[in-house]
Amino acid sequence: MNAFTRPTALPRVRITRIEAAPLFGESPKGGWSAEIRPQDSIHAIVAVHTDQGLTGYGSVFTDGRLVQAALKVLEPLYTGESALEPDRVSEKLHQNTFWMGRGGTLTHAISGIDIALWDILGQATGLSVGRLLGGRYRERVQPYCSLLMEEPKAMRDIIAEHRARGFTAFKIGWGPFGRALDTKLDEAIVRAAREAAGEKSRLFVDAGASDALWPHGFKWAKRTAEMLKDYEVGWFEEPVRPDAIDDYAELRRCSPVPIAGCEVLTRRQNFIPWLTRQAVDIVQPDVTKVGGISEQRRIAWMAYDFGVKYIGHGWNTALGVAADMQMAAAFPDADLVEFIGGSAYVDGILAEPFALDADGWLTIPDKPGLGVTIDRNKLARYTPDPAPLFA
């Protein structure tokens, strides 16, 4: 009788408590109209603790103090629940909070919980999340270095710096692009980025039209897309305001470069009109706010069936990147992950930080769960009290 004839049942693993730690102090610039300050929290780490000593970790893209408040609301729903059933438990949390903040802070907080539950399931089974999601299509993935736009000279220097680190794909966004109301400056920034990146590197452009009071509409986006074509830009992201679905659909039809968006949407239901209307070429759900890995994979497969490419947007902490990497392993054509350049919350909280290989790619961990380990001492630099995150 071989080892696979009589599988051993998994023990019951129950959620005992969930904790959140806001991250402060070194949030990267957002390029937003209301810029991030050192005292602001826009990211949080979530820990799900269990009665069997397993702890899973997730990440949430919102103020950590809001996440802590959301956990109090959700506590009666998750306490004592199985920690080995992420899909079911997360859906329970969604279904029982429709009227209390669906799509906002509660949905964002559930995202972190869901990621952590997948991490626990991987630890309990000895499998990476990618394998739990159905199997690994790839062992490594290309990260694109996500950078804020700067004036042309500074843009050239910043791209060169990260190219020297080994990156072979870049996304530039926000900053003065579109906001300075200077189309010549917009083109000069893109030209500088392309020259610094080199002809063989991939280059993407993010207008960041989800910024407050975005000043442009369809005609600016169409004209800008024509300009981007000349610099071999792989996609034009958030070119118009995030609710302007008619403009997105029309722009996708006439743009010479692919159109990307939807990073601000939450839950799978909100993606349906964007896919049925054929409003984007590339859909970018953010695993740290869309509802977690459980929602992310549903959206990705739905997009696949509509002929829309899926690229994850969980760039904001090392745990978001880890979740996106596991999704990339388990999805047929997810050939890129976003990787913010120079963020302490990505580069500075893991026991073994991510490292580029000789080709500028990342090896996708095949260890149990997310395959990464938070370093408690490193994390302590960015949150007042990391202790509740650790059993």
Q: Nearest Cα to 271, choosing from 306, 238, 237? A: 306
Q: pTM of this prediction? A: 0.96
Query: What is the overall mean pLDDT for the chain?
Result: 95
Cβ burial 364-386 (10 Å sphere, 16+ → b, else e): bbeebbbbbebeeebbeebbeeb
- Structure token digits, residue 270: 């909100």
Walk across the sheet containing 43-50 and list its strands. 15-23, 43-50, 55-60
Domains, the chain, with CATH or none:
15-129+377-389 (3.30.390.10), 131-370 (3.20.20.120)
Q: What is the DSSP letter of 10?
A: P
User: Is a pLDDT exceeding 90 seen at residue 341?
Assistant: no
Tens-place pLDDT, residues 258-279? 999 999 999 999 999 999 999 9
pLDDT at 196: 98
Tens-place pLDDT, residues 123-181? 999 999 999 999 999 999 999 999 999 999 999 999 999 999 999 999 999 999 999 99
User: Is a pLDDT exceeding 70 seen at residue 6?
Assistant: no
The residue that leads in pLDDT, 100 or 185, is: 185
Contact assessment for residue 247 and residue 275, using Cβ atoms and an 8 Å cutoff: no
User: Is a pLDDT exceeding 50 seen at residue 1?
Assistant: no
CB within 8 Å of 269: residues ≥ 6 apart: none
- Structure token digits, residue 101: 């903040």
Q: What's the rounded Cα separation, in Å, for the pair 311 and 328? A: 8
181: left (phi over 0), alpha (psi -120 to 50) or beta: left
Contact assessment for residue 317 and residue 288, using Cβ atoms and an 8 Å cutoff: yes
User: Is a pLDDT exceeding 70 seen at residue 2?
Assistant: no
Tens-place pLDDT, residues 49-59? 999 999 999 99
Q: What percent of the chain has pLDDT over 70?
A: 98
Q: Nearest Cα to 41, choosing from 56, 59, 55, 58? A: 59
CB within 8 Å of 101: residues ≥ 6 apart: 70, 73, 107
Q: What's the rounded Cα separation, in Å, for the pair 118 and 107? A: 17
Q: What is the mean pLDDT of residues 375-385?
A: 95
User: Is a pLDDT exceeding 60 seen at residue 3?
Assistant: no
Q: What is the mean pLDDT of residues 16-30?
A: 91
User: Is a pLDDT exceeding 90 seen at residue 35?
Assistant: no
Q: What's the rounded Cα separation, in Å, for the pair 262 and 285? A: 6
Contact assessment for residue 246 and residue 269, using Cβ atoms and an 8 Å cutoff: no
Q: What is the mean pLDDT of residues 363-381?
A: 97
Lowest mean pLDDT among 86-90, 107-111, 323-327, 383-387: 383-387
Q: What is the mean pLDDT of residues 348-368?
A: 97
Tens-place pLDDT, residues 215-252? 999 999 999 999 999 999 999 999 999 999 999 999 99
The DSSP-derived string for 328-381 is HHTSTT--EEEEETT-HHHHSSBSS---B-TTS-EEPP-SSBTS--B-HHHHTT
User: Is a pLDDT exceeding 60 seen at residue 7?
Assistant: no
Show contacts of 23-27: CB within 8 Å, 24+ apart: 23/64, 23/317, 23/345, 23/382, 23/383, 24/382, 24/383, 24/384, 25/381, 25/382, 26/343, 26/344, 26/345, 26/348, 26/381, 26/382, 27/345
Q: What is the mean pLDDT of residues 82-106?
A: 95
Q: What's the rounded Cα separation, in Å, for the pair 112 and 320? A: 9
